[in-house]
Amino acid sequence: MKYALLIGVTDTHESQPFSPGPSLTIMRELLEELGGWDLQILEHAAASREGILAALERLEQRLGPEDSVLFYFVGHGGLVEIPSLPPPWGTRVLAYLATHREKGPWHLMGVLDVELSTALARLDARCGNVAVMLDCCYPARTVRGPVFRLDEAPAWLRERAEEPARDLDAWLHPTSHPRIIRLAASSRLRTSYPDKVQGEHLGRLTRFFVEAVRASELRLDRLTWDALVHQLRERAIWRLGSEEQWVSLAGPRQRLIFSRAEGPALRSVGFVPRDDGPGGWLRAGALQGVQLGDRWGIAAPTLDEALTPRWLAHMRVTKVELNRASLEPETASPAHIHGPTLGIDGSPAQSSRALLERRRQPALVDVQGPSELRERVAASIWLAPRSHSAPGERAFAALRQIDGAGQPGLELRSLEHGFPMRRFTDGARAIELLEDWARARTLLNLGLRGDDNLPPSSEAPAVTAKLLRVGERSSIQTLREGDHVHAGERVLIELRCAATATGWFANTVFIDADGRPRLIDEAEIEGTELRPGERWRIGERDHRGQQGLPLPWPAELPTDTPRSIYVVVLASKRPLSLAHLVRAPGWIPPLSPKPKPDRRRGKLPTPRPRTGPALHNAWGAQLLRLELDPRTPTDRHHG
């Protein structure tokens, strides 16, 4: 069974009136058109704090392992500090979804971040197929926004804070929600906007979601969340005329909409088509390792019958800037990239994501084996066999065929960065690891600021990072370059933004002992925006006992010696898409609320011309290295 809980909260306060009627209506109509949904709609007095929590609890009791859930919210969200509450309630910023309150003077009423997170985790534990849509401001980490301070907490919140502490580690673990789709109207420091419809409000995330699903002819069996979010983001930017509303997505983005089934795990980057001719821009540039001459394919939103990409065009990079790259088609651009539109604002419907097809300068591999082995390397997007007739060419890795017990095997050796020697009997797995090494090599060069394509920064880098070891009773110890840590130990990644710096984003990548790069912060895969003077710790989460992110030792990696692990931190004044360089994360980061920077971005009255992604040349990079011992702390004491 498919269950949908649709919540719309009216706000009659004169400063921010909101009426969700049109948003609820078009979501209900879409789900009815799709068929098979059991709908519950909470609005007006039914959308109270008590009503929402009770509905979530009833839904949990109804769910079976084959069921599916959509949790949809449209309304206001906010942040509040109340130091008079006991810790951790009074020592952190509380995020909440605003709920119904009776008329009269404003008073705080809402569902708290920790309550929503635990409720969603419980739903996921029941059925494993939960999708969340939050059409409100600052929702990428549940809710974010300007913080206001209250001297006294309302009675309901005092009672909640004085309840005996609950063991929430199972629900608020750093790797919580790995299966929950979370589609948010904007990132954590950005505003989302509605359209006025006959005096009421239609959330733009809601509107664009419904229009995109209908444009796919309701073929949800061919539409992934990854393809959808690129469309919604570009349409929100087009409609607003700026990048203030940055639609974001977390969770298993390769899933088909409202389904457990998955499409291919494509490494896609946003594509912005030109308004006046063929070609366009990637939402990635020199700081994301894009090279002049790289070949990219522009994919349609929906997959084909075999669940593989439907190509609209193949393009080459003709110019690389810090955070964007210009693309020109290899052949005449298909008309439908610039033809059919979606909705009333004239934004393009079918060209919002690009997939890397071939590096112009692939990583060279010294191949020793039959011609078939060289051909497999040559077919890779990231690799090319080193030419034996060009002795000046330097390989970054060696791949050779060896005799095994009854069947030939493959041996991989890294000639850079000290990645471990590995042996495989499966050629596909060997090529996969070599490609991960090539991506890690790109990231390490960026972290060392050794990429010649990077322009000088227009501002002094404003973001610094360090690693912290979490010890007994949550004690914190600063780790230095090359320090030894043990498998299973837990760390925090601390990011700091300069006190006078505004609008900086940071994205962090973990390169494990096997040389495989993974995003650390999956909640916002284009990076986290930091406010001036902010300290942001990835892995720190209130209301749970154990803090930090566990350091894994790869399951198939020999435990003969310690290995280097790395954290690469890239910072810029624009979001940083790294999807083409990384795997899915090994953990989900915490839900620590942070306030909004003072500076606001302008809203243009009409859709802006297609001049490409907003360009900025301020950037920074940092590389942190540790030595990971395969022995766990327990093994160390007994060894």
Tokens at 506, concatenated: 């940071």
Q: Find the length of the chain.
A: 639
Whether residue 487 sits in one domain with residue 433: no
Total of domains in the chain: 4
Whether residue 486 sits in one domain with residue 354: no
pLDDT above 50 for 589: no
Residue range of the domain that includes 396:
363-447
Residue 53 lies in a domain: yes
Query: If DSSP codes are grouped into helix, strand and coil, which group holds residue 314?
Result: strand
Closest residue by Cα to residue 59 from 156, 139, 135, 124: 124
Q: In CATH, what number is assigned to the domain containing residue 333?
A: 2.40.10
Whether residue 534 sits in one domain with residue 389: no
**124-138, 207-221, 399-413, 546-560: the lowest-pLDDT one:** 399-413
Residue 247 lies in a domain: no
Torsion, CA 167, CA 170, CA 171, CA 173, rounded to 10: 110
The model's pTM is 0.88
Q: Residue 217: its pLDDT value, please? A: 95
- What is the pLDDT confidence band of residue 345, given thresholds at 50, 70 and 90? very low
Element (H, E) at 313: strand 311-320
Q: Residue 87: its pLDDT value, please? A: 81
Whether residue 373 sits in one domain with residue 338: no
Average pLDDT over residues 530-540: 88
CA atoms of 358 and 41, how far apart (whole Å): 48
What's the chain's average pLDDT?
86
Tokens at 68, concatenated: 């599916």
CB atoms closer than 10 angstroms to residue 585: 20
Whether residue 563 sits in one domain with residue 531: yes
Q: Residue 635: its pLDDT value, please? A: 61
CB atoms closer than 10 angstroms to residue 32: 11
Domain boundary among 138, 170, 199: 199
Residue 245 lies in a domain: no
pLDDT above 70 for 554: yes
Whether residue 139 sits in one domain with residue 84: yes
Whether residue 397 sits in one domain with residue 305: no
Whether residue 626 sits in one domain with residue 498: yes
Average pLDDT over residues 581-607: 45
Q: Residue 86: its pLDDT value, please? A: 83
pLDDT above 50 for 422: yes
Q: What is the pLDDT of residues 177-233, one digit of tens each?
A: 778 999 999 877 777 889 999 989 999 999 999 999 999 999 999 999 999 999 999
Domain boundary among 358, 392, 407: 358
Closest residue by Cα to residue 593 from 133, 77, 121, 153: 77
CA atoms of 38 and 25, how far apart (whole Å): 15
Domain boundary among 358, 383, 418: 358
**60-64, 311-315, 527-531: the lowest-pLDDT one:** 527-531
Whether residue 174 sits in one domain with residue 80: yes
Average pLDDT over residues 542-571: 89
- Quickly tell me which residue has 């690891």 as its tokens: 433
**40-49, 267-276, 496-505, 556-565: the lowest-pLDDT one:** 267-276
Q: Which residues contact 228 (CB under 8 A, 6 or more apart)?
A: 183, 209, 212, 213, 249, 257, 301
Q: Residue 405: its pLDDT value, please? A: 64
Whether residue 633 sits in one domain with residue 522: yes
- State what percent of residues in the chain have pLDDT above 70: 87
Whether residue 434 sits in one domain with residue 368: yes
Q: In CATH, what number is assigned to the domain containing residue 487?
A: 2.60.40.10
- Cis bond before residue 88 (omega within 30° of 0): yes
Residue 334 lies in a domain: yes
Closest residue by Cα to residue 358 from 293, 421, 304: 293
Residue 513 lies in a domain: yes
Tokens at 623, concatenated: 């590389």
Whether residue 367 sits in one domain with residue 354: no
CA atoms of 355 and 53, how far apart (whole Å): 41
- Higher pLDDT: 598 or 639? It is 639
pLDDT above 70 for 447: yes
Q: Residue 634: its pLDDT value, please? A: 64
Q: What is the pLDDT of residues 103-160, one digit of tens each?
A: 777 788 999 888 998 899 999 999 999 999 999 865 655 444 456 778 788 888 888 8
